[in-house]
Amino acid sequence: MCSLRNLAPTLQLCLLLVACSSSGKDGSKDGGSNDGGSKALDGARQDARDSAATTEAGNHLDVPASIDTSKVGDAKDAAASEASSSLDSRDAADVKSPGDVKDATKDIPLTPLDAAIDVYVPNSCDNPMVIPLDNPHVDLTVTTDGESHDFELSCAAGGNDIVLSFYLDRPEMVYADTFGTPWNTILALSATCPLTEPKPVDGMVTCSDDACDSTQSQVFAVLQSGRHYLVLSGSNGESGTATIHFQHAPVGVGSVFSLPPGSGSLAGTLNGIGRLGACEAVGPEQTYWWVSCPDYAGGDFSASTCKSLDLNLSVILFLQTPRNDSTACADNDNGASTCGLQESMTSTIPAGAGINSLAVESSNGSGHNTGDYTLDYTRP
């Protein structure tokens, strides 16, 4: 008898059908019916289908490469998908995720300390508040509140202080006050920062605590070209908002003298090279100045060189009052002089605190550009 175990499913089915057919012929003899044959046939068909399914499944299991890689759950590509996902998420995080370690500083908002770096801090030698010199005078509102104490001033013990700076392209007389400020101020001029007081000129004040019988300050000095500094501080630990009244007037390179109040007569000599160049003058100059307090009433002013002994010296007079942005010239080239090459002028000095200056200049660059003169004046 042959075994059917190793026969192909189709051959098994054919043999089974033959056997069933033979069995059907004898069925009448055995008292059976066609129903029994049908049931046997149905069972054989089911066995054949099961056997085919088993063989097909075995074939699939024997071919790992046939796994559908498009399915998300494939074990074969699970690790690759995880790695790819990690790489993709890192690349995307560089741009969109605020928590990325790589770009952690990209989207972090500024803290108050970071923001303060961009805020202008005047209390610094490296970054002082700049005083504009476009006009003869400027008023600046500043404050020492919240500042530190960085400078020891020569005229008084200060508190919180700030630094201001200005640049001169020629010699000038510079002035600053804090009149009108409601607290006790200190002002100091310096040619360097940290501070060193400029070389004093007779009558000049480079550090001031209480000026003009007040608790405010008033400084003035003749300074050469270059960078200079002005420091505001407070006496007795006081601080607050202050208005600084800043004035400046060019003085040339000649000698500078204080002009006493009232009337007087002064002798001088012009020589050397002049640089002031006011009122079309090109020769040497000498400058006279005075400073007034807030209660200064102003008044009539006159000046003349008509009594000069050297009648060959051609002179020009130049008056400056920066607090009201005014200047006045007396130039003998305009035919107004009544004393030859000499000159005279009259004017009105405004009231209030500030500097006033009168320059005596030679009008010639050569020839009659040096000599002695006599200045007669009256000033309020």
In this structure, of 232-246, 275-289, 335-349, the range with the lowest mean pLDDT score is 335-349
pTM of the model: 0.68
Mean pLDDT for the stretch of residues 327-346: 79
Amino acid at 310: D
Residue 122 to residue 176: CA distance in whole angstroms: 18
In the structure encoding, which two tokens stand for residue 195, read together? 């501070």
pLDDT of residue 367: 56
264-322 confidence digits (pLDDT tens)? 999 999 988 888 888 888 889 999 999 999 999 999 999 999 998 777 788 999 999 99
Give the pLDDT confidence of 166-177 residue by residue, as tens digits. Answer: 999 999 999 999
Reported as half-sphere exposure (CB side, CA atoms, 13 A), residue 70 has a value of 0
Confidence of residue 195 (pLDDT cuts 50, 70, 90): confident
pLDDT for the residue 54: 42
The CA distance from 263 to 278, in Å, is 25
What is the predicted pLDDT for the residue at 113? Answer: 42
For residue 115, pLDDT over 60 is answered with no
What is the average pLDDT score of the chain?
Answer: 76
- Give the amino acid at 102: K
> How far apart, in Å, are the Cα atoms of 164 and each of 117, 188, 214, 321, 325?
19, 10, 23, 23, 22
CA gap 224, 189 in Å, rounded: 13
The tens digit of pLDDT for each residue in 5-40 reads 344 444 343 333 334 444 444 443 343 334 444 444
Band of the pLDDT at 363, cuts 50, 70, 90? confident
CA distance 313 to 342: 7
Query: What are the backbone angles phi and psi of residue 74, rounded to the nearest 5°?
Result: -60, 125
Which tokens is 84 given? 């790819």
DSSP bridge pairs for 185 = 234
- The pLDDT value given to residue 41: 39
